[in-house]
Structure 1
Amino acid sequence: MNSTFNADLRVVKNVLLIFAAILGIMIIKTLSSLLIPLAFALFIGILVSPIISYLDKKKWPYTVSISLITILTLGFLFLIGLIVYDTGLQIVEQKDKLLTQIDDKFQEILEGLSFIPGVGSVQTEGIIDTLNNIISTEFLLNTSGVVASSVGAFTFNFILSAIYLVAVLGSIVRYEKYIAYLEGDDPEGKERLVRSFVEVKNSIVSYMKVKFFTSFCTGFCFGIISYAFGLDFSLFWGFLAFLLNFIPTVGSIAATIPPILLGLVQIDSSGTYTFFIILLVATQFIWGNVIEPMVMGSSVALNTVTVILGLVIWGYIWGVAGMLLSVPLIVLARVILSQIPDADMMVKLMGRSQLER
């Protein structure tokens, strides 16, 4: 009788846990404008915590350390926006050259397909006119409302992230004191929370070290390859590959498409273009599928299915920001679930915990 009751109780708990997860997703999605900056601030705070600890050991004033790291972090984020903006201006300035190359390539393709009935009557003027309207200052002015809204949202998130980051950096190194305050006189609870926090921190830092290294090498190779084949904006394609490779799985694909499309227009020889594609794909494969797993080892023990599902779920909740933060957020979710006795099966399906190694 008791075993049947316990089994029924476990089923009820699991159902309630699923409903609680759905409700939590809805709340997180609704409050995304406030939670995304906080998530980025926590993420950055965990990443730079070793630097703060080092400066603290060197007897640097705590306020100086926090101010320096905050300025450098926000400066890096501002630099990213500046590079994207400058590249957009360059594309607008060189639109005539790009449109001429696109028109020539279309004409070449149509000539090659002239044996197909009706292909000879296809006109490219409409396509070129459409592209000319898109790549123009007039189009940007007409969409100024959307641009202003995007800039306003970015500015709001930037300022909010800065405020969150200062608060996070002010407490990230002294986390044991805050945990002791939360747990009160419960030493076991304090030890459990400290171990959980250390697991999250170590997993995220280890993951980001490897991801930064492989993404930087991939972006560097992309930039060199694009420059060697004479593509315009080669520096930007390398920078774009560096950023997008932080998004698991789909990021590497998205980073490869723009230079391949531009190469179709700017590379004349079909053999050279094929070699160009092979080099880009091989670069992504070697760094992302060979070197990264080898260097990563078991520092982030998440299986592939978990990573893909997390990418889809967090992408739905928070868009691109959720995709960028999907792996750290999955690690955090796994640690939280590991504190729930009836969620052991779900934790094992997600991957091994560092504490189990």
Structure 2
Amino acid sequence: MINQTRTTNMLLLIIVIPLVFYLLKTLSFIFIPLVFSMFIALLFLPLMRWLGKRNIPKMASIVIVILLIVLGLWVGVELVKLSSQQIMATKSEFFDKAEVKLFNLKSYLTTTFGVEFKENENVLAQFLQKENLGTTFDFIRKLATSILMTAFFVVLWLAESINMHQLLNTTILKQRHTSVKTFIKIEKDLIKFIKVKFLVSLLTGIGTGLACVVFDVSFPIFWGLFAFAINFVQMVGSFIAVISLAIFAFVELEPSSTLFFFVLSITGVQVLFGAIMEPIFMGKSFSINIITVLVMLMLWGYIWGIPGLIMAIPITVFMKIILEQFPNTKRIANLLSGTT
């Protein structure tokens, strides 16, 4: 009888898990803003409690939090505008350099490896197609919709119209004491993760921008913002930032010791903040097996794309804490963290 029950549960699990992932992918336009807004709300939850202790009404507290978020977005937009102005002011000079470098690279590939390219007066024009404009506008429309939905869900989380504690208590845990303890741990760990990740990403962006200034690489504000944003993608983001900036610097700088030390410096920034400081700040509670990190990045990247890559590790931390609450799944939680 016990074996039959286990077999039935296993078969149900095999059926349910693919169905859940299918729904997550199909309804990504709802789930991405919902999950992302939860992390934002968790980040501002301590501030909400602090304001509540000072007898500030909840609606006023929500307005204060929304204003802080809007202020942060405004600062980000202003930095993007400033970096865009830098790019527009020097684009002709940069594209001239890029054209020469690409032409030399094309000649080398053709001579050495026999690679053929289509003849074009402008090599860069092969990479910029007019039909891509429609895709760009579609992306902007979807991004704007996601931002509005995220803002709506943030208000619901902060107003406790969506109650995580009650949700855990009625769905997964079904024990008041366990659900309270689990919610406190989830809240504490995820707030710590978000704060540390934001701080490390900010320092990485500042360090990358300063390296561009020191070595006279164009668009330091843009590259600082890029390093800050891409650093939220665990592990992969650091490689993308270094490789992208190294390729760009190859156009700007001559192949010499200057280029070598610039690449070395931006790599050092990534190693210092990402590989040394971040694990120290995170602590042992966030120790996740590197294989688990890679698998989760691929899984959530496939399901939700770039937002999935950004939220993969927080979601994994959330799952790990839930799995630790049940004796039958605690072994899986230990497997995720690489412990026995």
Give the TM-score band, short-chain normalised. 0.7 to 0.9
CA contact (8 A) 2:201 2:231 kept: yes
Equivalent in the alignment of 1:193: 179
* 1:17-166 pair list within 5 angstroms: 17-77=13-73, 79-80=75-76, 83-84=79-80, 87-88=83-84, 90-92=86-88, 94-106=90-102, 118=111, 126=119, 129-132=122-125, 142-166=131-155
- Structure 1's unaligned 5+ residue stretches are none
Cα pair 1:10 1:342 within 8 Å, conserved: no
Show CA shifts across 1:298-322 (max 9, x none): 1323222222211111111100101
- Mark the CA change 1:105 to 1:133 in structure 2 (over 3 Å): closer, same or farther: closer
What is the TM-score normalised by the length of structure 1? Answer: 0.82
Which residue does the alignment assign to 2:219? 233
Task: Please state if 1:248 is matched with 2:241.
Answer: no
Conserved 8 A contact 2:106-2:117: no
- Whole-angstrom distance in 1 between the partners of 2:320 and 2:277: 25
Determine if the alignment matches structure 1 residue 305 to structure 2 residue 305.
no
Matched residues, number: 337
C-alpha RMSD over aligned residues: 3.4
Take 1:18 and 1:170, find their aligned partners in 2: how far apart are those partners? 37
Q: 1:231-254 CA deviation, whole Å, 9 max, x = no partner?
A: 111111111111111111101111
Contact (CA 8 Å) 1:53, 1:173: kept in 2 or not? no
Larger radius of gyration: 1
8 Å CA contact 2:103–2:123 kept in 1: the answer is: no
The farther-off stretch of 232-241 and 100-109 is 100-109
Is the alpha carbon distance of 1:127 and 1:240 closer, same or farther for their aligned partners in structure 2, counting shifts above 3 Å? farther
Distance 1:128 1:341 in 2: 67
Deviates more, 1:220-229 or 1:335-344: 335-344
Aligned partner letter, 1:24: V
Distance 1:179 1:151, change over 3 A: closer
Q: How far off is 1:107 after superposition? A: 6.2
CA offset digits 1:98-136 (Å, max 9, x no partner): 12112343566689x6xx9946x999995771414756x
* Matched letter for residue 30 of structure 1: T
Q: Residue by residue, what CA displacement relative to the aligned partner does 1:260-292 show, whole Å, maximum 9, x if unpaired? A: 111101112511111111111122122211221
TM-score, length-scaled by structure 2: 0.86
Q: Report the AA paired with residue 193 of structure 1.
A: S
Residue 32 (structure 1) shift: 0.2
* Residue identity matched to 2:257: G
User: Residue 6 of structure 1: which of 2, 8, 32 is its match?
Assistant: 2
